[in-house]
A = this chain, B = another copy of it.
């Protein structure tokens, strides 16, 4: 089983894309270099810290393994310097966010299952890990959290978390299974954005 290495690679890619997503939002709000790096760091690692605390893994990976923090900071700084070439910042944020959604749901759910959290809790935790990144980014940059509005986001994460739980039960926890589940979630999310699918709102 290559789950350990698969988890690390998928996790670091997820950290990089969520950091880039947070940093793009920070640049759009005209924050300074440290503000951009902080929003990137918090968006990429905040929900992982919560997940690690929740499964009793202290100190959380974000502090115990320097590769996480360095990845988040490098991705944020790269966005800070390169963003004039990323000429459609709003679209970039949405695409990176979709990629982060898939990767973090996959790794968050698998980590929770591996730590012995029951399936219902592990699905919730995987979903919250994925939602947390965008929620943190939006709260820190003064936007109404995207995930709470009329949009397909949490449902993609929840569906993906259930898929990963089933895959884990069937013994598929390698890099390819994880990447496949993450890519599927990212694709569904992008399709939902493109087709403007949205969840129902209560009757007034």
| A contact residues vs B (CB 8 Å cutoff) | 26-27, 30-39, 49, 53-56, 58-60, 62-66, 69-70, 80-81, 83-84, 112, 115-118, 120-122, 124-125, 131, 139-140, 142, 144-145, 147-151, 153-155, 198-204
Out of B55, B142, B145, B202, name the residue touching A80 (CB < 8 Å): B202
Chain B residue with the shortest CB-CB distance to A146: B35
Q: Which residues of B contact A53 (CB under 8 A)?
A: 53-54, 58
Chain B residue with the shortest CB-CB distance to A39: B148
Q: Which residues of B contact A58 (CB under 8 A)?
A: 53-56
Closest chain-B Cβ to A87's Cβ sits at a distance in Å of 12
Out of B70, B112, B144, name the residue touching A142 (CB < 8 Å): B144
Out of B33, B35, B148, name the residue touching A35 (CB < 8 Å): B148
List the number of copies, as a whole number.
Answer: 3
Contact B199 A149 (CB under 8 A): no
Q: Which residues of B contact A54 (CB under 8 A)?
A: 49, 53, 58-60, 63
Closest chain-B Cβ to A34's Cβ sits at a distance in Å of 4
- Which 7 residue pairs across A and B have the least CB separation, nearest first? A63-B121, A35-B148, A56-B58, A32-B199, A66-B120, A34-B154, A32-B150
Out of B38, B84, B154, B155, name the residue touching A131 (CB < 8 Å): B38
A-B contact pairs, 21 of them (CB 8 A): A26-B148, A32-B149, A32-B199, A33-B199, A34-B147, A35-B148, A35-B199, A38-B154, A53-B53, A53-B58, A54-B59, A54-B60, A59-B115, A62-B121, A63-B112, A63-B121, A63-B122, A63-B124, A64-B118, A66-B121, A69-B124
